[in-house]
Amino acid sequence: MIGEELLQAFEEIKDDLQLAADDKLYFQPENGEVASPPGDINLADVLGNEPTHNPATTGDIMLGDPFAYVFTSGATSLLSAPPFLRILQIFLED
């Protein structure tokens, strides 16, 4: 995902990333001053069509449920994806 404010910096290094033709890039407009790059998925356009109400499954979410997995190389240089639990999210919001 590339935010509008970092698009110019991203474009400078994009070729170094060796992206495949079918890689999907997401663009997050901020001020609307920059057009979405050709081929990128504009999140404002996509998310604008999504419902804003909570789904019926909201009540099924428990504090011990993961809400994200963050992939890192870690201290061992091996890929790992520790889960971030909902309870952590509550503390991070404060």
Question: What is the chain's mean pLDDT, rounded?
Answer: 84
**16/37 same-domain check:** yes
Domain membership flag for residue 39 = yes
**43/61 same-domain check:** no
Q: Report the SS3 class of residue 4.
A: helix
Closest CA to 40 of 71, 66, 3, 88: 3
**Percentage of the chain with pLDDT > 90?**
21
pLDDT digits (tens, 9 = 90+) for 4-49: 998 999 999 999 988 888 899 999 998 888 888 888 999 989 988 8
Residue range of the domain that includes 82 = 57-93
The pLDDT, as a whole number, for residue 30 is 87
Domain membership flag for residue 52 = no
pTM for this structure?
0.55
**6/43 same-domain check:** yes
Give the HSE-up count for residue 54: Cα atoms under 13 Å, Cβ half-sphere: 6
**33/63 same-domain check:** no
Number of domains in the chain: 2
